[in-house]
Amino acid sequence: MKNWFIEQQLNWTFLDQQDFIQDLAACEQDSIWHAEGNVYVHTKMVIDALLQLPEYQQCTPNDQYILQLAALLHDIAKPQCTFVEDGRIVSPRHAKVGEKVTRDYLWDMPFGQRETVCSLVRLHGLPLWSLDKPNPNREVIASSWRVRNELIYIIAKADVLGRICQDQAELLERAEYFKELCLENDCYTAPRTFYNEHSRFKFFQNNDAYPADRFDDTAFEVIILSGIAGSGKDTYAATLDMPMVSLDDLRIAMKVKRGDTTGEGHVVQRAYQMAKTYAAHQQSFVWNSTNITADMRAKIINALLPYNPKFKIVYLETSVQNVFNRRQGQIPRAALQKMYRSLDLPQYTEAHEVVYIRQ
């Protein structure tokens, strides 16, 4: 990262030599939405527009640094997501994939800064489409728990100004509607406040239109560990004086080897049986497995919801080199790399509490 900036400005002499920038230059866009040309041209125009925005100029130096990185990387995944469909150039899912690519590039920068950039890459198009969502209020409240909506608005506005298209005025108007929607929901410059953690959890679980104040009647806690293999979950679990459902321990006890699909299914089935037994007795416990995707975590939470526990997700990570060193000879390097590409960082919308630990 030290070569990416000179005196708080992006260093294009260095960046233009990087493979990902050359990939952007080779990625064409549909002229209806991007008459300016390829993704590289668009990216530079977005950054130029960003630097001219009064909202950007009023930001703190740290926010300006974050916004420049987000503008640089907001379309980073377009080269791998772009194809021609019905004669038009399209790039579906480029924001979602872009979040993962960005996290890979920035893995070892300070966690808070990195995740702010990743969230802006993931959500940079939200202001343009929030009103088309089934529940716009929920969308902006949810995004406020990932990153300040104010920053999403700034990057989206720069994204619109940094292109040539016939509907630019309409897109800018949509960005303003997004800002107003955030202001109406008290979540433009900070996360929307809730009566308590349980009210927040139920709001996102139930897909409510508006937050409601709920009494917290949870009687026990389920701690769900999350992280790439080798990130330190076992070490952390050992500090907790609680019963544990460990998929690794079950594999050993049941003599199931990695890659045994049938055996793995039996391990997971046994894990759920143990978890439900603890939950039926309102016994707090730890679920220790990788749980690196939102779907994995949601399956556990949905299975245990009827028992009404408090859910706490503890996400752990370390450097890539530490992971490879710790799991060398146990898990193939390709499998570990696949985990990195699959990672969905836990969000506050998933559980009562989310804790992030970088070791």
| CATH code: domain of residue 230 | 3.40.50.300
Average pLDDT over residues 104-113: 94
Q: According to the model, what pLDDT value does residue 236 have?
A: 96
Token couple for 329: 């000879």
Average pLDDT over residues 252-277: 91
Predicted confidence (pLDDT) at residue 258 exceeds the cutoff of 80: no
Q: How far is CA 61 from CA 8, 143, 170, 351, in A?
A: 8, 23, 31, 32
Predicted confidence (pLDDT) at residue 300 exceeds the cutoff of 90: yes
Q: How far is CA 231 from CA 88, 193, 257, 295, in A?
A: 43, 32, 21, 20
Q: According to the model, what pLDDT value does residue 312 have?
A: 98
pLDDT band at 332 (very low <50, low <70, confident <90, very high): confident
pLDDT band at 104 (very low <50, low <70, confident <90, very high): very high
Task: Note whether residue 209 is domain-resident.
Answer: no
pLDDT tens-digit map of 160-217 = 999 999 999 999 999 999 999 999 999 999 999 999 999 999 999 998 889 999 999 9
Average pLDDT over residues 133-152: 97
Is the domain of 34 the same as that of 104? yes
Q: According to the model, what pLDDT value does residue 335 have?
A: 83
The side-by-side arrangement of strands in the sheet containing 285-288 is 244-246, 285-288, 221-226, 310-317, 353-358
The values of phi and psi at residue 134, to 5°, are: -60, -35
Q: How far is CA 296 from CA 95, 287, 324, 341, in A?
A: 21, 12, 23, 15
In sequence order, the 6+-apart residues with CB closer than 8 A to the CB of 275 are 222, 245, 285, 287, 300, 303, 304
Q: According to the model, what pLDDT value does residue 239 have?
A: 95
Q: According to the model, what pLDDT value does residue 281 have?
A: 98
Task: Note whether residue 201 is domain-resident.
Answer: no
State the Cα–Cα distance between residues 219 and 157, nearest whole angstrom.
45
Predicted confidence (pLDDT) at residue 24 exceeds the cutoff of 90: yes
State the Cα–Cα distance between residues 132 and 149, nearest whole angstrom.
17
For residues 358 and 232, the answer to whether their CB atoms sit within 8 Å is no
Residues forming a β-bridge with 88: 85
Is the domain of 234 the same as that of 301? yes
Is the domain of 236 the same as that of 176? no
- 24-33, 123-132, 326-335 — which is least confidently predicted? 326-335
State the Cα–Cα distance between residues 178 and 196, nearest whole angstrom.
26
For residues 312 and 225, the answer to whether their CB atoms sit within 8 Å is no
Domain residues for 256?
A: 221-358
Predicted confidence (pLDDT) at residue 222 exceeds the cutoff of 90: yes
Is the domain of 171 the same as that of 229? no
For residues 165 and 174, the answer to whether their CB atoms sit within 8 Å is no
Closest CA to 302 of 279, 328, 283, 320: 279
pTM value > 0.85? yes
Residues forming a β-bridge with 288: 246
Is the domain of 246 the same as that of 303? yes
- Residue of 217 and 7 predicted with greater confidence: 217
- 189-193, 219-223, 321-325, 326-330 — which is least confidently predicted? 326-330
Task: Note whether residue 195 is domain-resident.
Answer: no
Q: According to the model, what pLDDT value does residue 257 have?
A: 83
Predicted confidence (pLDDT) at residue 262 exceeds the cutoff of 90: no
Q: How many CB atoms lie within 10 A of CB 7?
A: 5
Q: What is the CATH number of the domain that holds 178?
A: 1.10.3210
- Residue of 337 and 258 predicted with greater confidence: 337
Is the domain of 175 the same as that of 240? no
Is the domain of 234 the same as that of 177? no
Token couple for 113: 């800064």
Task: Note whether residue 210 is domain-resident.
Answer: no
Q: How many CB atoms lie within 10 A of CB 273?
A: 10
- Of all residues in the chain, the percent with pLDDT exceeding 90 is 87
Token couple for 354: 């989310």
Which DSSP helix (H) or strand (E) runs through 129? Answer: helix 126-129
- Of all residues in the chain, the percent with pLDDT exceeding 70 is 100
Average pLDDT over residues 60-84: 98
Is the domain of 93 the same as that of 147? yes
Average pLDDT over residues 280-300: 97
